[in-house]
Amino acid sequence: MARPDPERLAVWRSFLTAQALIDRRLTIALNEERELPLAWFEVLNALQLAGGSARVMDVAEHLVIGASSLSRQLNRMEEEGLIRRDRGRPDDQRAVVVVLTRDGRDAWRRANTTYLRIVKRHFMAKLADSDVVTMQRVFGKILDTL
């Protein structure tokens, strides 16, 4: 096996560190300002992007997490009134659909301002247009292979 390229390995480590530090900032800001866990925001955001409802499996796939982990999270979110779970189509009662409630939409709107502020400050504001193009190309290559 060939030795890893030190420059590419350093870029990988920088990517992981930057992602973890931005996640930490998001977690702190959302907890302090909105009393909302980042993981809950991510679910609300996935539902918002899907038009307000989506099958559990689609949400899990979007978030790249297991359905069982998501199910426990959804239980707590449902108890808080942020989402509700409905049975899917009449012809497929196995499918469960997660739906944003009015409280969930309101929580998403408030939290989204915090989320975007942190992402803009610690990520988007650091990128030149050429950086964005390069990153789209690089991540496109990576995602195409996964």
- Take residue 7 and report the two structure tokens written for it: 């420059």
Least confident of 60-69, 77-86, 100-109: 60-69
- Sign, CA dihedral 126-123-117-106, equals positive
Residue-level pLDDT at 91? 63
pTM metric for this prediction: 0.90
Q: Half-sphere exposure (CA, 13 Å, Cβ side) for 62? A: 17
Using the predicted structure, report yes or no on whether residue 94 has a pLDDT greater than 80: no
Instruction: Write down the pLDDT at residue 92.
Output: 64
- Quick check: 68 pLDDT over 90? no
Question: Buried b / exposed e across 118-144, counting CB within 10 Å, b at 16+?
Answer: beeeeeeeeeeeeeeeeeeeeeeeeee
- Residue extents of the structural domains in the chain: 37-145
Give burial (CB, 10 Å; 0-12/13-18/19+) of 70: buried
Distance CA 73, CA 83 (A): 11
Per-residue pLDDT at 81 exceeds 80:
yes
Average pLDDT, the chain: 94
- pLDDT beyond 70 at 21: yes
What was the pLDDT predicted at 90?
65
Give the pLDDT band (50/70/90) at residue 3: confident
Comparing CA positions, the residue from 66, 47, 27, 28 lying closest to residue 109 is 47
Class of domain 37-145: mainly alpha
Paired tokens of 88:
């899917």
Select from 65, 21, 72 the least CA-distant residue to 42: 65
| Residue 18 reports pLDDT greater than 80 | yes
Mean pLDDT of the region 113-134: 97
Mean pLDDT to the nearest integer, 43-52: 98
CA distance 146 to 126: 27
